[in-house]
Amino acid sequence: MQAFDWTGVDIAVPPRRLPGVRMAGFRQAVPAPVDIAMVAHPAVTVLVDLSDGLGYEAFGRRGRGSVVVGLCPGELRAAGRIGECLQIRLEPAVAAAVLGETLSGAVSLEDVVGRDAARWEDRLRAAVSWDDRFALAAELLRQRLGSRRVDPEVAQSWRRTLAARGLARVEGLADEVGWSRKRLWARFRTQLGITPKRAARLVRFDHAAHLLAAGRAPAEVAVASGFADQSHLHHEVRAFSGLTPAAVAVAPWLTIDDVAWPEPNRGGGRQGT
């Protein structure tokens, strides 16, 4: 797999971050056909197509237009003429409140939010700048906040899983929140759409994927990420992305991670307008 050339893409990030929400805007200066792998991330991703050119393929199913990518989507590709798109990453608890569910696959935005999908697209296209789009997107998300809430114990267990890079044991998480392992497992799966064990595997894979993208050798990444050995790493990378570690190392979305999703107080990258 060849590395995608991001030099022809303007990337914009909002001046402020909302709790549990991260956004980035992408504009391809000269729209051209693309076919790039997307790598599983420990968040629910909403890709809003602002150019009527985005296509995607997941689990052998093909679709076009705006799409919601849930946790652990498996092998996923974006294809077509991206033009302009807005990518929104939602923490699972926020996704449950905004979308009414936490998905595991990839479905059209219309299938999730109904008629609101077309309204979102029209209003976001009409905005004159990325900052206006980010502000509008934040307002649209707030308007959809529903009555579904994730238990504080489940939300805390998710945060601890992230903080521990997938190495926290379920028994330890249950002890921290004062629940039995069985109760945590059941509530976690019901509310986030994923078991605590699979969530830990996803977070551990995400950490490993970023190390691979940073140029670290697979054997070194396996040790640093808590895998039994390099073979175990290869198995998990294949399970979560359908790719080899070498392919993940040059996956397009990972190569611009620090630009599109800058950490607080670290600064961003190129800004679109």
> Mind listing the pLDDT tens digit of every residue in the chain (273 residues)?
455 677 778 999 998 888 899 999 998 877 667 777 788 889 999 999 998 777 777 666 777 889 898 887 677 777 766 678 899 999 999 999 898 877 777 888 999 999 899 999 999 999 999 999 999 999 999 998 876 789 999 999 999 999 999 999 999 999 999 999 999 999 999 999 899 999 999 999 999 999 999 999 999 999 999 999 999 999 999 999 888 999 999 887 787 888 888 775 433 333 333
Encoding tokens for residue 84? Answer: 């302009």
Rg (CA), the chain: 18
| Cβ–Cβ < 8 Å for 22, 16 | no
In single-letter form, the type of residue at position 39 comes to V
Measure the CA angle with vertex 125, ends 65 and 96; round to 5°.
60
**What's the token pair of residue 107?**
């479905």
Q: Pick from 150, 133, 153: which is nearest to 141 by CA? A: 133
Residue 149 has, within 13 A of its CA and on its CB side, a CA count of 4
Q: For position 268, what pLDDT does the model report?
A: 39
Are 29 and 9 a contacting pair, CB within 8 Å? yes
Per-residue confidence (pLDDT) for residue 109, from 0 to 100: 92
Q: What is the pLDDT of residue 82?
A: 66
Say how far apart CA 269 and CA 257 lie, in whole Å.
Answer: 10
**Per-residue tokens: 172:** 């330890």
Alpha-carbon dihedral angle through residues 19, 206, 108, 8, given to the nearest 10 degrees: 90
CA 50/CA 65 separation, integer angstroms? 9
Q: Give the integer Cα–Cα distance in Å for 68 and 102.
A: 10
- The DSSP line for 103-154 is -SSEEEHHHHHTTHHHHHHHHHHH-SSHHHHHHHHHHHHHHT--S----HHH
